[in-house]
Structures are given as structure tokens and as C-alpha cells.
Amino acid sequence: MDVLAAYAFVFVAGLVTCFATGLGAFPFFVVADVPERWTVALWGLASGIMLSASGFGLLREGLALTTGLPTVLAVGVVVGVALVVVSNAVLERVDVGDHDHDAHLDPEAVAEGDAKKLALILGVLTVHSFPEGVAVGVSFAEMGLRGGVPLFGLSVPLLAVVMTVAISVHNVPEGLAVSIPLKAMGVSKWRMVGAAVFSSLPQPIGAVVAFGFVTWAYDFLPFGYGFAAGAMVYLVLTEFVPEALEAGRDLDGNGYRELAAGVAAGVAVMLPLLFV
């Protein structure tokens, strides 16, 4: 396998997830406002997909590579959760504007093009979205081995395809969360798309770094799977679900029904992972 081609492919997969965030702004091209009910359902769909991808994909693959007690896998899960906890603590100490939204993107900085503040925000976003890029990169660890999906002359693990799609779907409501305050400020539609993509720029970098690590230290692959799964599950429980309930606080039932329906749909979409 051409090593350079492999790294390039992983980077492109990270770019796909990054650009998917921009899709969150596209509803504003056709409607003035996105109904809260659909916003909650989108967060639920993303949550269901990420929980399933972590359990049916990452943790299952980690267990398959483990003999005896899954100690390394468990340590990876703990470290993944710890990273998100520490990242959130760092974010709370950095004032970049509007902290009511998951992406921590300051609408005024985007609207005014404040380069200095945007650079600061990009650093914060690196801390915030790096685990998502790691999940993509780790899933590509067995690229080139037999049994993968043939794409562009490479044998790509099915898990990698699934994780790339899962992270991309999860990024759509994140892009919507970024776009809502920008829409209220009268920011142009294409600038909202650009801001949404900007919020996920660290993901391709995280994907390449993680891919390089797990291919270089293959014995630590269960740790990598556990790390990505722990970070993803913790993000779902502490950020995606609260974000969904915040968006649905004015709905009948406070949005719980829409959230549950979205989660169920996400899990249903990922059930085929159990049979591959």
C-alpha cells in the first residue's frame, strides 16, 4: 500500500466530515427558520448514529483485537472521556464570545472578520473537535488489509466508511447550531456555510494524526478504538443530548419525543454494523 496515498485518503475523509458541517447552513437557503422540532430530531439522529458507531463499531473492533481482559481498551475509553472533560475545562477558561452553542463560535468575530479572534477560536475548536477527527483516523487503521471496501485503488475498512458517514451526519446539526446566531445577525448565507466549515477544520488533522499513531503502534489499536469510543459517547451524553433538549424546551414534552425518535432512527440505520 502506498503510504502517502493512505495518508492523503484519510485526510480527504476528514475533509468530507469537515465540509459536511457546512450543510447545516443550507436550510437557510430555502427557509427563513428551521423548526425546533427538526433541530431536535437532527441532534437525536446524530446521537443515535454516534452511540451505535461507538458500540457496534469501535468497541466491537477493539474487543475483537483483545485477548483476555480488555484492559487496554478500557484505559482508552477512560482517557477519551478524560480528554473531553479537560477540553471542556479549557473552553470554560477561554472567552471567545457565544458559549451557548456547541461549536463555541463567536458570531461577531465571523461577521466582522476579526482575524485575531478567529485564530483564537480556531485553537479552541481544535480542542473541541479533535476527538471527532481521531474517531475517523482510528477507523482507518486496518486500511490495505483484505476484506475492505475497494475505493480509488485502496482497500478501505467498512468501519472507516461507516465512521466517516457517522461523523459527517453528526456535523450537520453542529453546522446548524453555528448558523442560527449568524442568521439572526444578518450574516450572508455563504458566510454561514464558511463559518460552519471553519468550526470543523481540526477534524482532518485529527484524523491524520490518529491514523499515523495507530498504524505506527498497531498493538495500541484497542486503545485507539477505546479512546475514540469513550470521547464520542461522552460528547453525545454531555453535549449533543443537552443541545437537543435546549432546542426543544418550548415544544410539547420539552422535545423528548423528537429526541427519542431521532435516536431510534440513528440506531436503526447503524444496526447492519452488527452483521458485518
Please report, for residues 9, 130, 238, the alpha-carbon distance to residue 235 in angstroms, rounded to integers and kept in the order given. Answer: 26, 12, 5
pTM of the model: 0.77
Q: How many alpha carbons lie under 13 Å from residue 153 in its C-beta half-sphere?
A: 7
| φ/ψ (deg, to 5) at 154 | -115, 150
Counting the structural domains of the chain, the total is 1
Give the model's pLDDT for residue 159.
83
Pick the closest to residue 207 from 124, 154, 130 (CA basis). 130
Tens digit of each residue's pLDDT (9 = 90 or more) over 207-226: 998 888 888 877 788 898 99
Print the domain residue range for 150.
3-275
The 10s digit of each residue's pLDDT in 180-202 is 777 777 778 888 888 888 878 88
Helix spans in the chain (H): 3-20, 36-52, 60-64, 71-93, 107-112, 115-139, 158-184, 189-198, 202-216, 221-235, 241-247, 256-270
Q: Is 112 exposed, middle or buried (0-12, 13-18, 19+ CB in 10 A)?
A: exposed
Are 192 and 183 in contact by the 8 Å Cβ rule? The answer is yes
